[in-house]
C-alpha cells in the first residue's frame, strides 16, 4: 500500500529543449513497493532518502523481470539504502523493490538531446549505485527542485537551468566518489581546508588567506580543490552556507537578514540571489513551502488508520 504518492508531471513544449523532464515522482512512508518498468528511451535519476531495497536491470531487453523463474544471470542486481544515488538509462527492463520500510525516494525521468552526454560523464565515474556523503548538497537540491515544480510556470529556460545544475552536481558526486575510492588521492591540506569550511562556515575565507595559511599558490589551491571536491573552494563554501541557511529557515523564525549574517554572508541581497539560483526560490518562499509541507505531512499522518 502506497500511503503517500505525489507525482509532478511537467508539460510538453516545442521545440524540445536539450534537457527535458517528462515526469518526476517522490514516494514517502511506503510500506509495500515492488514495481517493474518497461524500456524507454529516457534516463532515470534515482535517490534513496530512507529505507533499503534493490534495483534490478535486465541485460537482455527481450526478457522480462519476474519474481519467479528469473534468470539471474541475465540481471544486474544493485542493493540500495539511504543516500544511494544512481543515474542510468532506461533502455532495458528494470525493477525497483522495497525491502525495509518505511521507504522514501526521488525519481526524475529525464530526456532530451543532451541527457546522454551527462549520463556518459556520470558513467565514467560510477557504473552502479553508490552512497553519497551525508553532507552532500544533492538531497536538499532534489527536494527543493521537486517542491518548486508545483510553482513551475511553464518556463523551459528555468527548467533547463535547474536540470543542468542538478545533473552537474550529480556528476560531481560521482567523481568525488570515484576519487575517494582511490587511496591517498586527496592531499591532506585540501581535507584540512574542507574541514575548516565545515567547522567555521560563518567565518570569512578568501583564496589569498588560504594561500598565506598553507603556503600554497591560490591558483593551485583552487585547481586541486575543484578536482577533488567538484567545486571551487568559494563555491563549495557558499553551498555549505546555503545548506546551513536552510536548516535555520526550517527550525526557527529568525529574519532573513539575521540568517544571512549567521551563515557568513555580509550582504543579504547577495545571499538571497545565491539562494534563488541554487534552489529556484527565495529563502522566504522556501520557508513557506517547508511549513506547508510539514503541515501536509502531519495532516496525512493523522488521517492514517490506526490499528
Q: Which three cell numbers stand for residue 94?
A: 528494470
Whether the pLDDT of residue 226 is over 90: the answer is: no
Q: Are the C-beta atoms of residues 225 and 191 closer than 8 Å to each other?
A: no
Task: Considering only CA atoms, give the Rg of the chain.
Answer: 21
**117 plus 260 within the same structural domain:** no
Residue 152 in domain: yes
Residue 262 CA to residue 63 CA, distance in Å, equals 56
* pLDDT interval class at 22 (50, 70, 90): confident
Domain of 63, CATH number, reads 2.60.120.10
Average pLDDT over residues 223-246: 89
In a domain, 9, yes or no: yes
- Checking if the pLDDT of 66 tops 50, the result is no
**188-199 helix and 233-251 helix, angle to the nearest 10 degrees:** 30
pLDDT of residue 63: 47
Whether pLDDT at 2 is above 80: no
Mean pLDDT for 223-230 is 84
The pLDDT value recorded for residue 306 is 53
122, 152, 180: which is the final residue of a domain?
180
Of the residues 180, 214, 248, which one is the last residue of a structural domain? 180
d(CA 133, CA 84): 10
User: What is the average pLDDT score of the chain?
Assistant: 82
Confidence label for 15 from pLDDT (cuts 50, 70 and 90): low
Residue 279 lies in a domain: yes
Look up the CATH number of the domain holding residue 233. Answer: 1.10.10.60
Please check whether residue 170 is in contact with residue 45, taking contact to mean a CB–CB distance below 8 angstroms.
yes
Split into its structural domains, the chain has a count of 2
Please give the average per-residue pLDDT across 74-101, as a whole number.
89
Full-model pTM? 0.61
Same domain, 202 and 174: no
Give the mean pLDDT of 200-222.
Answer: 95
pLDDT score at 238? 93
Q: Which domain holds residue 259?
A: 188-294
Residues 137 and 237 in one domain: no
Based on the domain organization, do 40 and 133 belong to the same domain? Answer: yes
Higher local confidence (pLDDT), 174 or 98:
174
Residue-wise pLDDT for 72-83, tens only, equals: 567 889 999 889
Amino acid at each position: 500500500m502506497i500511503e503517500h504518492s505525489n507525482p509532478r508531471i511537467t508539460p510538453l513544449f516545442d521545440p524540445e529543449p536539450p534537457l527535458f523532464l517528462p515526469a518526476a515522482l517522490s514516494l514517502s512512508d511506503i510500506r509495500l513497493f515492488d514495481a517493474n518498468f518497461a524500456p524507454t528511451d529516457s534516463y532515470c535519476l534515482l535517490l534513496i532518502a530512507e529505507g533499503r531495497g534493490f534495483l534490478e536491470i535486465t541485460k537482455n531487453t527481450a526478457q522480462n523481470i519476474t519474481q519467479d523463474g528469473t534468470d539471474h544471470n541475465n540481471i544486474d542486481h544493485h542493493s540500495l539504502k539511504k543516500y544511494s544515488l544512481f543515474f542510468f538509462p532506461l533502455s532495458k527492463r528494470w525493477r525497483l523493490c522495497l525491502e525495509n520500510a518505511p521507504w522514501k525516494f526521488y525519481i526524475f525521468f529525464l530526456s532530451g538531446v543532451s541527457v546522454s552526454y551527462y549520463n556518459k560523464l556520470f558513467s565514467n565515474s560510477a557504473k552502479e549505485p553508490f552512497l553519497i556523503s551525508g553532507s552532500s548538497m544533492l538531497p536538499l537540491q532534489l527536494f527543493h527542485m521537486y517542491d518548486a515544480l508545483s510553482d513551475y510556470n511553464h518556463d523551459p529556460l528555468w527548467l533547463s537551468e535547474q536540470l543542468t545544475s542538478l545533473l552537474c552536481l550529480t556528476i560531481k558526486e560521482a567523481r568525488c566518489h570515484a576519487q575517494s575510492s582511490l587511496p591517498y588521492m586527496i592531499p591532506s591540506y585540501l581535507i584540512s581546508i574542507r574541514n575548516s569550511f565545515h567547522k567555521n562556515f560563518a567565518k570569512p575565507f578568501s583564496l589569498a588567506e588560504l594561500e598565506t595559511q598553507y603556503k600554497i599558490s591560490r591558483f593551485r589551491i583552487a585547481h586541486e580543490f575543484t578536482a577533488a571536491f567538484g567545486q571551487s573552494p568559494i563555491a563549495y563554501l557558499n553551498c555549505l552556507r546555503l545548506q546551513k541557511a536552510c536548516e535555520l529557515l526550517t527550525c526557527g523564525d529568525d529574519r532573513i537578514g539575521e540568517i544571512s549574517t549567521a551563515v557568513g554572508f555580509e550582504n543579504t541581497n547577495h545571499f538571497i540571489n545565491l539562494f534563488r539560483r541554487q534552489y529556484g526560490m527565495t529563502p522566504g518562499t522556501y520557508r513557506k513551502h517547508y511549513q506547508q509541507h510539514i503541515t501536509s505531512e502531519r495532516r496525512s499522518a493523522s488521517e492514517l488508520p490506526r490499528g
